[in-house]
Structure 1
Amino acid sequence: MRLAQYLPLASLLAFAATAVAEDSDVISLTPSNFASVVNKEDLILVEFFAPWCGHCKALAPHYEEAATALKEKGIKLAKVDCVDQADLCQEHGVGGYPTLKVFRLGEPTDYTGPRKADGIISYMVKQSLPAVTEVTAENHDEFKIADKLVAILYLSSPTDAPGPEFTAAAEQHRDDYLFGYSVDETVIKNAEVEPPALVLYRGFDEPRIDFKGHIQSVDAGEIETFLKENSVPLMDEVGAENYQVYAQSGLPLAYLFIDPSDESHVAHVDSIRPIAAKHKGKVNFVWIDAIKFGDHAKALNLHEPKWPAFVVQNLQQQLKFPIDQSNEIHADLVDEWVSKFVAGELEPELKSEPIPSSQDEPVYTLVGKTFDEVVFDDAKDVFVEFYAPWCGHCKRLKPTWDSLAERYEGVKDRLVIAKMDATENDLPPSVDFRVSGFPTLKFKPAGEKSFVDYNGDRSLESLIEFVEAQAKNSLVAPSSSSEKIAHAQTPAAHEHHDEL
């Protein structure tokens, strides 16, 4: 009787939940409708999320509010559940939650705006505006200095080449540069150019850079390269506020670590400028406060607090090429070092913990020196957790990861469940990824060189399901171990999950 009494209420609650879902202005995407929805929109924001992710839960009400407000402006917001649609998320390179991407007719760029409702609304409205502004005689002087990097294309007619290619580049980089075009004869005369002409105005170093190539046949990629090569100062101080500029440039970064209180620090910086000019477009150069960023120096394998010091970093692969700190840093040595780096004649210095004397635990402990030997053993499937000792998510994963290794202990000659402290061990050049968050889980199938990302929840059941699906080798243990595996205890899934 009591159960029956509550059935109407339960039905009402279920109906209400369904109604809320149906009333949402956020479009739910699956493989069956992703292309048909996204590819036709001039502008749409897509959130890739996991239901257990704390940051996703915090974003949800703001995302809903923004979706409702932007609906009136013809801008759509959508979402993809990466637990239910794992393949779709992997297809779009999702490595953490939430990941937000702005799509324009199916072409994605990373969302770099705020995550509150008003910020999302403002960012997307700005994205809906033209990527290229018309420049006239009235606003030309003001427009040239309106941002740190301003690109202006001067044309005889709006339809002239390379107008469409310039617009395509602007659409991809509207967050990085300010783009304008002008067909105003007065503007063209004052700029002292012969149309078509492309000029980059900068708030540093040489204030004006003219494009020197065949402008009429230039494509969007060449325009992008021109802007990137000239988007950073020849030699500037780097810090938290401008590091991302260098990271996005795609070029290696050469650091001069220096103590700003040293009376000769300006002279040291000035001595490196000619070398920076010599390698412009191949390597970016910066100087950095060695006292303030001493931990960063250690991360770049500069082990002693001895300044000045110099290191080149391949940002794409996170490889480090420090000059031995027993040497005195001077311009000739730096010039020789960078020249060898550009020529591919230097070997990276890989940080590695000592090789363990024994492997007594079910989880195999990887270090930098053993990575290639273990992970690229073609006879074995390998599942690696890259962790940090201070990471709370990693600590919560540990008992589950241990249980996973225990489950497959009888087939560890074919399947290696491993872990590596990514703060104390560098990845070798043989891998094409870098670890940017903890924990990062990567599976390398036997006989292959590529890795499969694990983006599911962190319950033992889900990890087992993933291993069984990805492994190339048989996971059936020899009969002597089969009983042990069959009776291996499987702990309950965590009730609380943490985001990547």
Structure 2
Amino acid sequence: MASRVCVGFLVLVSSILLLLLLLSVSVYADEGEHEHVLTLDHSNFSDTVTKHDFIVVEFYAPWCGHCKKLAPEYEKAALVLSRHDPPVILAKVDASDEPNRELAKKFEIQGFPTIKILRNGGKSAQEYNGPREADGIVAYLKKQAGPASAEIKSAEDVSSLIDETRIFVVGVFPKFSGEEFEKFKVLAEKLRSDYDFGHTSNAKLLPHGGSVNGPTIRLLKPFDELFIDFQDFDVDALEKFIVEASVPIVTVYDKDPSNHPFVNTFFNTPNAKAMLFLNFSEEHLDAFKSKYKDVATAYKGKGISFLLGDSEASQNVFQYFGLKEDQTPLIFIQKKSGQKYLKTNLKPGHIATWLKEYMDGSLKPFVRSEPIPDVNNEPVKVVVADSLQDVVFNSGKNVMLEFYAPWCGHCKKLAPTLDEVAVSFENDPDVIIAKLDATANDLPTEAFDVQGFPTIYFRSASGNLLKYDGGRTKEDIIEFIQNNRDKSTQPSPVESSPVKKDEL
């Protein structure tokens, strides 16, 4: 009898455990299947954003590899942050979808994924400059959702807030009131997505300690001089000071992740950017470093920032700028205007001379271009940077030019339509339909504003340059060309598509 009771009891316990296990799996599955990232579009964006004092929005494209990699991390972070007090809302917008293009334009989206932090019902927008994995996203956004500046009252606060491998901005005030403190708060709110801020009434608590006379901003950094004090409390002057002081005399770009934030700062500065790339295992590395730092020090404050990059860690930069590893050691300069300058197979002794020629304005700009094709007999003609002047500006033709990217889904979708348009104008010697790979060729930015793909321009034979924002059907494009082509040339009859019987 006892054994029967025991067996029955074990069966009952097993059944209960199995039921609990199934319930827990079911709950877990339901939670995992539920999306915690809000999906927004042009129809609900404004209504949703205006309801929140703090909301984070990712602008993405479904075909973007980086977006696909971010998606599961962003979703994990959204789940954790939904339980925060108060909850932090994460959302996403397909910025490549045609109806959402105005949203992408409003928030100046130039690449994917771009994440924006929107505050005060969307009245304020800041770049998200944090990590791209779940734990890092959570930590960064918890800090962003709190006060812009944290009070430092003890050595423990210093240890928890100030990371000696990162830049930290601290305001020192006799009391937390008055004009200087209010301007500091404005500054901290404005720059909080880029820098960490704190404030204290006791300067002796801070690294490098000492007394200060009156309200002071102290910038702590892990390079060059380790701290700088500043006492001009004009907000614009403070921002300029922080941005300029946050860039090392020479920024190092290698595989060390602690250097990556300074690399991001380097590329975000408005200065011209000088970049010296070589293999860091090269025997002449010390000679290059010494000569390069001397030049960077000499030109400090003259509108140019300097980066020293390990070629092995810089493949994405090489690909972006069209550089090749067999050109190293090389020095490359990009101006804010987009103009580029290049010196390959560099020697340490060349650096100072070449930089002087650049500063004097005697260097010829470098233009990245694919080779001009030997055969170019497809209906849509291939244009490269080196043939742009001849085909578009000097041909005396009416030219419709598409700027595309090989990986762009919308470009691939448009391609057969452009082929049909080009075939329609095959017998018209005054019209050219052409395309240019904007990821492999430099563009004259003074003529073309290409912020996304595809971007289409039309230049008439008489020189009138127009950006095409019309429909994407064959008929729309043909009508636009006929209406905007040079009036001095007589349009040839455009070949019509055959009418199908079921259209009669």
**Fold conserved (TM > 0.5)?**
yes
Q: Choose the corresponding residue for 1:46, options 57, 61, 64.
A: 57
Q: Show CA shifts across 1:79-105 (max 9, x none).
A: 545433332333323345554321123
- 2:297 corresponds to which letter in structure 1? A
Residue 128 of structure 2: aligned partner? 111
Q: Show CA shifts across 1:94-118 (max 9, x none).
A: 3455543211232222334566776
Q: Choose the corresponding residue for 2:201, options 180, 183, 186.
A: 183
> Structure 1 residues 401 and 208 mapped into 2: Cα distance closer, same or farther (>3 Å)?
farther
CA contact (8 A) 2:169 2:218 kept: yes
Q: Choose the corresponding residue for 1:152, options 162, 167, 170.
A: 170
Q: Give yes or no for the alignment of 1:202 onto 2:221.
A: yes
> Structure 1 residues 402 and 451 mapped into 2: Cα distance closer, same or farther (>3 Å)?
closer
Residue 487 of structure 1: aligned partner? 498
Report SS of the residue matched to 1:246.
helix
Separation in structure 2 between the aligned mates of residue 58 and residue 260 of structure 1, nearest angstrom: 31
- 1:110 corresponds to which letter in structure 2? E
Separation in structure 2 between the aligned mates of residue 319 and residue 91 of structure 1, nearest angstrom: 27
CA contact (8 A) 2:36 2:90 kept: no
The structure with the largest alpha-carbon Rg is 2
Q: Equivalent residues in 2 for 1:187-336 (5 A)?
A: 187=205, 190-211=209-230, 215-216=232-233, 218-219=234-235, 221-239=236-254, 241=257, 242=260, 243-281=263-301, 282-290=303-311, 293=314, 305=326, 308-314=329-335, 316=336, 318-323=338-343, 325=345, 328-330=347-349, 333-336=350-353
Separation in structure 2 between the aligned mates of residue 191 and residue 96 of structure 1, nearest angstrom: 45
CA contact (8 A) 2:243 2:269 kept: yes
Give the drift of 1:350. Answer: 1.0
- 1:268 corresponds to which letter in structure 2? F
Report SS of the residue matched to 1:349.
coil
Give the drift of 1:355. Answer: 3.8
Q: Show CA shifts across 1:127-182 (max 9, x none).
A: 21112111224347535544421111112232233333333333343343221111
TM-score normalized by structure 1?
0.71
- 2:248 corresponds to which letter in structure 1? P
Q: Choose the corresponding residue for 1:93, options 97, 108, 115.
A: 108
Residue 73 of structure 1: aligned partner? 86
> Structure 1 residues 271 and 427 mapped into 2: Cα distance closer, same or farther (>3 Å)?
same
- 1:387 corresponds to which letter in structure 2? A
Q: Show CA shifts across 1:35-64 (max 9, x none).
A: 565356431122445678785798399659
Residue 27 of structure 2: aligned partner? none
Q: Give yes or no for the alignment of 1:443 onto 2:459.
A: no
Q: Show CA shifts across 1:392-413 (max 9, x none).
A: 8599558526535436536977
Separation in structure 2 between the aligned mates of residue 255 and residue 164 of structure 1, nearest angstrom: 39
Q: Which moved more, 1:256-265 or 1:190-199?
A: 256-265
Report SS of the residue matched to 1:473.
helix
Separation in structure 1 between the aligned mates of residue 205 and residue 334 of structure 2, nearest angstrom: 42
> Structure 1 residues 132 and 384 mapped into 2: Cα distance closer, same or farther (>3 Å)?
same
Q: Show CA shifts across 1:358-412 (max 9, x none).
A: 6422212111123255556898463413335xx4859955852653543653697
CA contact (8 A) 1:133 1:179 kept: yes
Q: Show CA shifts across 1:260-289 (max 9, x none).
A: 344332122112212101222422223233
CA contact (8 A) 1:376 1:449 kept: no
CA contact (8 A) 2:400 2:457 kept: yes
- Stretches of structure 2 that go unaligned for 5 or more consecutive residues are 1-34
Q: Give yes or no for the alignment of 1:371 onto 2:409.
A: no
- 2:200 corresponds to which letter in structure 1? S
Report SS of the residue matched to 2:118.
strand
CA contact (8 A) 2:399 2:434 kept: no
Residue 354 of structure 2: aligned partner? 337
Separation in structure 1 between the aligned mates of residue 64 and residue 283 of structure 2, nearest angstrom: 50
Q: Choose the corresponding residue for 1:427, options 427, 435, 443.
A: 443
- 1:135 corresponds to which letter in structure 2? I
Separation in structure 1 between the aligned mates of residue 176 and residue 45 of structure 2, nearest angstrom: 35
CA contact (8 A) 1:153 1:196 kept: yes
Residue 127 of structure 1: aligned partner? 144
> Structure 1 residues 99 and 175 mapped into 2: Cα distance closer, same or farther (>3 Å)?
closer
Separation in structure 1 between the aligned mates of residue 340 and residue 129 of structure 2, nearest angstrom: 28
Give the drift of 1:321. Answer: 1.0
> Structure 1 residues 56 and 255 mapped into 2: Cα distance closer, same or farther (>3 Å)?
closer
CA contact (8 A) 1:113 1:119 kept: yes
Separation in structure 2 between the aligned mates of residue 428 and residue 416 of structure 1, nearest angstrom: 20
- Stretches of structure 1 that go unaligned for 5 or more consecutive residues are 1-22, 455-460, 490-500
- 1:285 corresponds to which letter in structure 2? F
TM-score normalized by structure 2?
0.71
CA contact (8 A) 1:137 1:186 kept: no
Q: Which moved more, 1:375-384 or 1:471-480?
A: 471-480
Identity of aligned residues (%): 25
> Structure 1 residues 153 and 421 mapped into 2: Cα distance closer, same or farther (>3 Å)?
same
Higher RCO structure (Cα 8 Å, ≥6 apart): 1
CA contact (8 A) 1:312 1:320 kept: yes
Separation in structure 2 between the aligned mates of residue 62 and residue 270 of structure 1, nearest angstrom: 43
Report SS of the residue matched to 1:244.
helix
CA contact (8 A) 2:169 2:196 kept: yes
CA contact (8 A) 1:234 1:277 kept: yes
Residue 368 of structure 2: aligned partner? 351
Separation in structure 2 between the aligned mates of residue 432 and residue 186 of structure 1, nearest angstrom: 54
Q: Show CA shifts across 1:305-336 (max 9, x none).
A: 3654333233x5554312364x7441xx4234
Q: Equivalent residues in 2 for 1:393-432 (5 A)?
A: 396-397=412-413, 400=416, 402-406=418-422, 408-409=424-425, 416-422=432-438, 424-431=440-447
